[in-house]
Chain A
């Protein structure tokens, strides 16, 4: 019996423990007061006009103060709202990293693409029975570190280096002699400093319900690790240029017991971004880490450690049935890129908005030198120039086969 058959069998067995007669009766329609038709008497009628007036005044005052503060502080939206399709697709842009790599997270090859044309410059197949769960780039545009993990058997991954030649073709896998326990997280499980000296990883310990975050000096193989609740949605690791600060996203900080530091004591149920003071290994302390944001999804820290870039998704219009996922195809979303103060989490500015996205999805990867963000939207891949505050398209969804799963993305 293979794993799929075994799974079906186990699910059917567990489901069979619920007999049909155990199902409750259909719930009655909720009873609602017919407020619109109900006449207002007494104090309700007398209070209606003053309350409505007070609410209207409050809305006007709050709106005006927000607008004024944005104009005065310059925190208003700088770039235009840019529907993906209105830009010149695939236009080359000076200063972009030359190549980016994607991995499907299964046994298919790593794919290297040219950022100016979107064309595939090379592929690298994993060793037999292995796959590439994570990849991270160094700043020289040629060096990448990948994790290689067996599809079955041992729950551990090895780290390897890949060097691209001048035409973007990957050389062989060069073992770094480092094995990390566990299986890699879905998104952004590996980060690298620009010089390729320090790597950060996050893995999940198979069957143990927790994971670990580690910082490795790739030259000395010195490792510093912390046990951590498994990042369920996305890890999104990013390191500052000096390797001193690490940011990542975790949704279940409160689950880890006992709490090894102050972060762990915060009862958090929403996605958060926390920043660890890694101090480039020797003095690395988890205790100095802190929660920066409590609502961001994908995020990355700037290379100097002063800002945090995060994208959020919001529905463009009221959904057909509020609060449901099943209706998302009928509405559009706006993905917004914002900058935050990495120390306080204070919002600094709205950098850009991409409206008319088919789903609420955003994946974000900062390049190793810290000058660009690579953002995966439902409509395609786009770049954001951090210094120039400009955005542009890299590959539309039709250019990059978006049915093709992307588990790891790096440039």
Chain B
């Protein structure tokens, strides 16, 4: 990813803008190749089904096209798109779809459900099911920390909360998980 800032103040179509447009498209395409799989998998862990996860990631990258010119530092496009995926998982219409799935008969069972049977190992499925029953913020913190491997500071920036909140949310979520999984055993 090129670290230089976005182009120029002239927002009207111009030769330089045309050149930068194709440049931006290629940079976004490269970012997509690099991160789409991992982000889709992270979104899957948050929303439960692949179709919704894919929609969220696609929406995030579509938003990146629109917001590219306002990015002060294009090197931060990865952080932008990660935050957009979190928004998509939790704050968009797609979240409502995921919520509706809890109220309506599911078409595509969540990846952690016994019906999905996609994950080898009952213990893993139980762990994922326990994570799915946690509050939203706790799920986000756990996925960002233990799947994407982000530091607490990065998680705090992505979620718009303090580092202390990340730390306390994670420790409480782990305590609840440990308790639930212990009970199941």
Contacts and interface: CB of A to CB of B under 8 A. Distances in A.
Contacts, number: 222
Contacts of A7: 127, 131, 142, 146, 174, 177
B172 A407 contact: yes
Contacts of B135: 186, 204, 230, 232-233
A324 B13 contact: no
Contact of B121 (A13, A17, A20, A324): A13
Interface stretch (A56-64, A80-88, A327-335, A348-356): A327-335
A88 B81 CA distance: 41
A259 to B, nearest CB: 12
B161 interface: yes
Given A151-B175, A321-B70, A328-B160, A106 B168 contact: yes
Given A11-B143, A17-B118, A18-B41, A150 B179 contact: yes
Secondary structure at chain B's binding surface: helix, strand, loop or mixed?
Answer: helix
Given A24-B58, A104-B168, A324 B136 contact: no
A322 B162 contact: no
Given A152-B178, A230-B135, A232-B135, A18 B40 contact: yes
A29 B164 contact: no
Contacts of A269: 96, 99
A30 B62 contact: yes
A359 B164 CA distance: 13
User: Which of A17, A27, A329 has the most chain B CB atoms closer than 10 A to its own CB?
Assistant: A27
A410 to B, nearest CB: 16
Contacts of B123: 6, 10
A4 B170 CA distance: 11
Contact of B181 (A3, A15, A104): A3
A26 interface: yes
Contacts of A255: 99, 102-103
A405 to B, nearest CB: 3
Interface string B171-185: 110111111111110
A286 interface: no
Nearest to B33: A26
A7 B129 CA distance: 11
A385 to B, nearest CB: 26
Given A7-B146, A325-B87, A325-B160, A151 B40 contact: no
B80 A327 contact: yes
Nearest to B130: A207
Interface in A27-54: 27, 29-30, 34, 36-37
A209 B84 CA distance: 26
Interface in B47-70: 50, 53-54, 58, 61-63, 65-67, 70
A343 interface: no
A324 B171 CA distance: 26
Contact of A402 (B50, B124, B162): B162
Contacts of B102: 255
A167 interface: no
A378 B162 CA distance: 8
A406 B163 CA distance: 11
B12 interface: yes
A183 B120 CA distance: 30
B94 interface: no
B44 A30 contact: no
B169 A37 contact: no
Interface in B127-160: 127-128, 130-131, 133, 135-137, 142-143, 146-147, 157-160
B62 A24 contact: no
Given A10-B127, A186-B169, A402-B164, A26 B50 contact: no
Contacts of B143: 11
A20 B83 contact: no
Interface of B: 12-13, 21, 25, 28-29, 32-33, 36-38, 40-42, 44-45, 50, 53-54, 58, 61-63, 65-67, 70-72, 76, 79-80, 82-84, 86-87, 96, 99, 102-103, 111-112, 118-121, 123-125, 127-128, 130-131, 133, 135-137, 142-143, 146-147, 157-165, 167-169, 171-172, 174-184
Q: Which 9 A-B pairs have the closest CB atoms?
A: A326-B83, A405-B168, A15-B41, A405-B164, A10-B127, A321-B67, A26-B32, A10-B124, A11-B147
Given A26-B28, A204-B135, A326-B84, 5 more contacts: A14-B112, A22-B54, A23-B37, A208-B133, A320-B71
